[in-house]
Structure 1
Amino acid sequence: MSALQRISQSYRVASTHSRLVSTQACGWMRQQLPEELGECYSERLTFDDDLMVVRSRYRPTRNLIEETVSPHNRHMLVITFGMQGDSGYKGADGAAVSFRAGFTTITSFQLSLGERCYKAGATVSQLRLLIGESMLNKYIGEQRTQQILGNGNVRQLAFQKSSAASASHASALTRYLSHGVTGTLDMHIHTLSLLCEQLKLLSPDALSQSLKFSATDIEKLQRVRDIMIEQMDQPLTIPYLCAAVGLNEFKLKEGLHYRFNSTAHRMLNEIRMRKAYTLLESGCQVAQAAYQVGYKFPNNFSAAFTRFFGKPPKSVFGKRR
């Protein structure tokens, strides 16, 4: 079946489509699509007018396109933590935003008209923070707030792997919401901790740099690192990596510096040396370790290993025995 056929067979839920809405005693509001479409709902908890937490869980019985219209006629910053599964957003203005498990996506908008896309049978779980302009002004000042929020169009400001700290705070909030617990000091602490970490990342310098790289670019840069890990025994070159992921040389080099604060050569060398160290510890011979991490000549490997660790590979050999 072609991609066009799959799209044509998707079930479209209009923004005016009837949704079951319920308000719980503990303060959060739940919106749910009809049961015949599967388990598809979102829960919203409002701390105040400018700070909300939304937990969503979708497992549709068919490919689903849900039209969305922002209920907020004001500038908002949205921080989305992917907990499970992948989904996408397509704006009426052509904006495209990706959401992936284990990644944090940050967007800003004023009026948002578009659609969210979900695959049949796939579970997508996400946690979102929605922060209004006045709260951002309070925490980071008007000038920085205006820079982040822009002109009101949907903008993707960041797309990167969630840190261990963010994942921990997001998981804690999800557990609270799952058990209907709200209004606790712990929930406020987890929410503000998440917000604090992300606002630090959106410094003016980091923001201007991050806008040079789309979500697709970031995924390609991550793939470059994955290729290095998977193929470290091969003579990897910049042209090969560019062709493998579909980035030009300039963007690959700039992207590696932005995403990993490294160069291709330095990153590959570190990956090889740390893998070699593990092999040697487990009892692998020096020549064998050299070959497995891409060195044809053991002498060259020994020299590189010694430069990197400050000691020769023979000093590490067999230490875990």
Structure 2
Amino acid sequence: MNSAQRFNWQRQPMPQDFCGGFVDRLQLDDGLTLAYCHYHPQRDLREHSIIERDVRSLTIAIALEGNSVTCASDGSQYPLRAGHSTVALFSHARGERFLPAGQQVRQLRLIVDEPLMEQYALTGLLDDRKDDHRVHSLFSGQHTPGIQRLAERLASLHGQTASALELQIATLTLLAEQARLLSSQRSTPRALSGTAQDKLLKARELIQQHYDQPLTAGWLCMQVGTNEFALKQGFRALFNTTPYRMLTAIRMDHAWELLESGLHVSTVAWKVGYQHLSSFSAAFQRFYGRPPSSVSGKRQP
């Protein structure tokens, strides 16, 4: 009997020819779940995800090895590479994770439901955020050596003859350290007024509607009534990205779909707002790590 069976890890295997990996989940308590992910994709992997929960959850994703990028449905990007973490609060989320072929990816995820956050006196992390079915990014970036050590400890316990108590203690220690770091960041909050948020949401809507046009930050500012500094700072605070990166993510998502449908690269470049094929090819290569010509589909007549 292996450790996954002994401690009720629920394994979700991936098709061997597609990914060559697995995701193990362990429910340590009501509202407290630990997941260990180990991917080794043989080809580029685009993993679609739809999360529908009854309550909000604090989700901590820690990259132990390898790189991935998660693109949310609103265009926000969450790159996750070794030594980095993302922390988010949400109940509903749609998006997809991209993992390039030929690399090993190991990630640890800790999911804490809101009722348990209240029990652990972590409600300060919620602030006044409402459950509006949006992903609220609390942190994205390089984590501390302490977080790294605690995460590696948990990963090692996954494959050892460890007791459930050891796993729970290690998990709660990691949660406590992450909560401490997040609480320290709350001392300098970036508050946005309702009017400012409305302008930012309108700007995002314009990007989603007119991604195939030569958009500029100046044009967006004119349409919503703000300035470039407020626009860029607001996007970082509300969407955890910049207007340019959101526009690029939306264009690249549409470009991939069009390429898979069989359209030629030059046609796709024009349809997603690039006037020059070379600029599109370079942007696609940076975003996906591969040229657009490598995405095949049934050619249209």
Both proteins in one fold, TM over 0.5:
yes
Aligned partners of 1:100, 1:148: CA distance in 2, in Å?
Answer: 28
1:95 paired residue number: 76
Whether 1:199 aligns to 2:179 is yes
CA contact (8 A) 2:47 2:97 kept: yes
Misfit runs of 4+, over 6 Å: none
1:41 paired residue number: 22
Aligned partners of 1:172, 1:67: CA distance in 2, in Å?
Answer: 29
Aligned with residue 108 of structure 1, among 82, 89, 110: 89
Instruction: State the TM-score, normalized to the length of structure 1.
Output: 0.54
Match of 1:112, SS state, is strand
Match of 2:53, SS state, is coil
Larger relative contact order (CA 8 Å, sep ≥ 6): 2
Mapping of residues 152-167 of structure 1, within 5 Å: 152-167=133-148
CA contact (8 A) 2:68 2:99 kept: yes
Aligned with residue 177 of structure 1, among 139, 154, 158: 158
Percent identity over paired residues: 28
How many equivalent pairs are there? 196
Whether 1:26 aligns to 2:7 is yes
Distance change in 2, residues 1:62/1:33 (3 Å): same
CA contact (8 A) 1:148 1:207 kept: no
Structure ID, larger Rg:
1
CA contact (8 A) 1:59 1:124 kept: yes
Deviation at 1:25, TM superposition (A): 3.6
Deviation at 1:146, TM superposition (A): 4.8
Q: Single out whichever of 71-80 and 58-67 deviates more from structure 2.
A: 71-80
Whether 1:139 aligns to 2:92 is no
Aligned partners of 1:194, 1:99: CA distance in 2, in Å?
Answer: 18
- Which amino acid counterpart does residue 64 of structure 1 have in structure 2? L
Deviation at 1:192, TM superposition (A): 0.9
1:268 paired residue number: none
Match of 2:78, SS state, is strand
Deviation at 1:136, TM superposition (A): 1.0
Q: Single out whichever of 65-74 and 44-53 deviates more from structure 2.
A: 65-74
Deviation at 1:59, TM superposition (A): 1.0
Match of 2:55, SS state, is coil
Deviations 1:187-213 (A, max 9, x none): 2221111111111222273472499xx
Distance change in 2, residues 1:43/1:206 (3 Å): farther
